[in-house]
Amino acid sequence: MTRHALKFILLVLATGLLAPAAANAELKVVATLSDLGWIAERVGGDDAEVTTLCPGHQDPHYLPAKPSLTRKLKKADLLVYNGLELEVGWLPQLIKCARNRNVKAGACGELDCSHAVRHVLDVPTGQVDRSQGDIHPHGNPHYLLDPRLGVAVARLMADRMAELDPDAAERYHRRADDFAAEIKARLPVWAEKMRAATSCPLIVYHQHWEYLLTWLGLDNIASIEHRPGINPSPQHVEEVIELGRRQACIYILAASWDNRKIADRAAERMDAPLAILPGAVGAVEEATGYIEMFDVICERLSEASIDGVRPQEGLTR
Amino acid sequence: MRTCFIVLICTAGLLAPVAATASGTLTGASNAMNPALSVNGLFVAETSNDRDDAEVNGARLQEAELHMTAVVDPFWTANAIFSVAPREDDASSFDIIMEEGNVEATSLPWGIGLKLGKFFLPFGKHAPLHTHQYAFVESPLGVASFVGAGLTETGAELAYALPLPWYSDLILYAMNADTEIWDQDDRDPMFGARLSNLWDVSDDATLELGGSYMRGPGSAAWHGFAGDFRVSGVDLTYKWISSSSSHGPALNLTAEALFPDPEAYDGSPLGWYVMGQYRFHHNWWLGLTHGRADTDETGAPTAWNGIGETWESKLNFTFAPSEFSGLRVEVSQYDDRLGDADDLRFSVQWNFTIGSHPAHSY
């Protein structure tokens, strides 16, 4: 019995040791976020097998570092991640447990996609400490909410995929070019849709949308969450409500994973529409892809800005 | 204009040495490669209706930890953890011990993990935890009574994820037998293994089943018998964390049982606990546990310093306004050693973490 058990264990171990050699030639890519996963699939096409760690409906700041996720990382040739410490609460733990030298810090198979961002927003100046909440010391990490930066990320991915898989280099670059062309063609459509929205200021729940607002030229006048990652105090929420009430036009933006109770209550007290936007691909049902996500965002922003106009003398809402 | 230019030149001249110093090229002093550093402080204030000694009445530092972690070179990362805690016999003085000091290989092939140095043994679910990770103020009796509350040894650990359709991680270790549960005069090493398996029950829930075993030279002072001390354990953990909202509801349920087996003992000792934690609001957790330690005295009534059969029940509320601080209020009921009077305790515990502290494991 003992001998049979020993044989079984040795067989299992041997299977595991030989498994990498038997694997097919596709580049195995693991993306931390659903946006990155979607872009990696576009760039990788049939030459890459892409898996994603954080589903779109989950707040990427707080993904539980489930050991089962390390199974995805264990065989990865390339790990693409957002960077700017967005995944700092769970990715280092997963990398450590995966014990895959391809994706350890500094290896060719780890790609910090924030390197594609030339101008990081909200980089703190002066003293940085946790009295400011769960602040990102290197700047706002939500750059994928600007589609032009999505294109820059796609090109960065293509370069790295080409480096790891030179035989398919031309195809990676061609797919990144195709993606860039698709985004370029879509930009005027989104701009047209947002034409009505640009004159109405807005209030955000969390500072998630800075890149989106900068791209679209929208005016954010306050944040319900006073300090990132910390529940806002009733006093601060009250101040924001008062500010909102004084505006001739106002609406609120929140992600699907934000604290809906507080966001709903603030919207109701302000008598302002609340737009729940997809913070990532898959965050809401209609955001099935990176391009579709911006379709949904522009649609909802446009509607909310129209609904946010307060009735005034001689005008109807 | 000319004045501005002169001021600019002077300023550049004054700042230049600073920049050179900061780079460390001339001084050899640079903080660019310094380890990530964090300090955790854990304090408790308690009162007991049974004991009137200072150990459980009054406020004290439970433990402070200084944690350093850094990449050594392309092949290793290193951790050093120093623990400061009051002495048991004199609460006004403190012991400083190196709780962990180890390197972990980062470049081994085939997903093999190797850790060398001093570290917590991966035995069961609770024994490997640092004090500030406990779900309750104290370690469960069923664990602490049989394997102690700080099972750190020096040696080597090998880890390998088995190629099974689910997450399955096997850890083997061989260490010096230095802690109180081992015979410290006997230079025989201790050995152990842990196999943990985890399944995704749904997107939000996991089930983990673990089994642990270790064996080494037993300490007569600890459990009353010389000769080999073997102990095995099994643990089951269910975790559910709502993925649809940040800091939404979450539930942790853990059950763990230990089966100590000293070579020269005829009895069947058993330690176990079940515990549950529920996050019922953004920052608020409710915790409940019950556990027992039973030496099965049929073999020897003096075993384990007279633990006999004892149990505990605890209820607590934890308020954690951020990931870096927490305040806990706990009521615990202990059936005291060998059937003495019950001990009802009320505790308030608070902790903080400053600096760059690595995320805890799942």
> Which pLDDT tens digit goes with each residue over A174-199?
999 999 999 999 999 999 988 877 78
Say yes or no: A175 and A84 in one domain.
yes
Tell me the CA end-to-end span of chain B in Å, nearest whole number: 62
Predicted local distance difference test score (pLDDT) of residue B341: 61
Q: Do A257 and B161 touch (CB under 8 A)?
A: no
- Which position has the higher pLDDT, B227 or A12? B227
- Residues in B touching A89 (Cβ below 8 Å): 323, 359
Say yes or no: A167 and A236 in one domain.
no
Q: Does B361 touch chain A (CB under 8 A)?
A: yes
pTM here? 0.87
Say yes or no: A199 and A179 in one domain.
no
Say yes or no: A76 and A90 in one domain.
yes
pLDDT interval class at B282 (50, 70, 90): confident
Say yes or no: A184 and A210 in one domain.
no
Tell me the two tokens of residue A27. Answer: 């580049």
Final residue before a domain boundary, out of A171, A188, A205: A188
- Which position has the higher pLDDT, B301 or A140? A140
Say yes or no: A177 and A299 in one domain.
no
Predicted local distance difference test score (pLDDT) of residue A133: 84
> Which pLDDT tens digit goes with each residue over B44-54?
999 988 877 77
Say yes or no: A222 and A78 in one domain.
no
List the one residue out of B39, B79, B47, B46 whose CA is nearest residue B63: B39
Say yes or no: A65 and A141 in one domain.
yes
pLDDT interval class at B189 (50, 70, 90): very high
Q: Does B33 touch chain A (CB under 8 A)?
A: no
Tell me the two tokens of residue A90. Answer: 């769970």
Predicted local distance difference test score (pLDDT) of residue A23: 45
Q: Does B297 touch chain A (CB under 8 A)?
A: no
Say yes or no: A165 and A208 in one domain.
no
Query: What value does the CA radius of gyration of chain A take, rounded to a whole number of Å?
Result: 22
Q: Tell which of A11, A66, A94, A99 to mutate to test the B interface (max B CBs under 10 Å).
A: A99
Query: CA B260, CA B145: separation in Å to the nearest integer?
Result: 10
Predicted local distance difference test score (pLDDT) of residue B17: 45
Q: Which domains, ranges and CATH numbers included, belong to chain B?
A: 36-355 (2.40.160.10)
Q: Do A93 and B322 touch (CB under 8 A)?
A: no
Give me the amino acid identity at A146: D
Query: CA A145, CA B222: separation in Å to the nearest integer?
Result: 60
Q: Do B113 and A99 touch (CB under 8 A)?
A: yes
Given a cut of 80, whether residue B177 has pLDDT beyond it is yes
Q: Is residue A17 part of a domain?
A: no
Query: CA A290, CA B346: separation in Å to the nearest integer?
Result: 54
pLDDT interval class at B14 (50, 70, 90): very low
Average pLDDT over residues B109-128: 96
Q: Is residue A295 part of a domain?
A: yes
Q: Do B111 and A16 touch (CB under 8 A)?
A: yes
Q: Which residues pair with B38 in a beta bridge?
A: B67, B355
Q: Which residue numbers in chain A have pLDDT < 50?
A: 1-2, 16-23, 313-317
- Residues in A touching B245 (Cβ below 8 Å): 59, 257-260
Final residue before a domain boundary, out of A163, A188, A213: A188
List alpha helices for chain B, DSSP H: 2-23, 141-147, 220-223, 303-306
User: Which domain CATH number covers A222?
Assistant: 3.40.50.1980
When CB atoms are compared, the residue of A16, A19, A57 closest to B243 is A57
Q: Of chain B residues 92-131, which have a CB less than 8 A from chain A?
A: 104, 106-113
Q: Is residue A11 part of a domain?
A: no
Q: Identify the domain containing residue A89 by its residue range.
A: 25-124+132-188
Give me the amino acid identity at B164: L
Q: Does A134 touch chain B (CB under 8 A)?
A: yes
Q: Does B28 touch chain A (CB under 8 A)?
A: no
Cβ atoms of A11 and A32 within 8 Å: the answer is no
Given a cut of 70, whether residue B10 has pLDDT beyond it is no
Total CB pairs under 8 A between chain A and B: 109
Predicted local distance difference test score (pLDDT) of residue B271: 94
Whole-complex ipTM? 0.85
Q: Is residue A259 part of a domain?
A: yes
Q: Of chain B residues 315-334, which have a CB less than 8 A from chain A?
A: 321-324
Say yes or no: A33 and A168 in one domain.
yes
Q: Is residue A12 part of a domain?
A: no
Least confident of B12-26, B78-92, B188-202: B12-26
Predicted local distance difference test score (pLDDT) of residue B19: 46
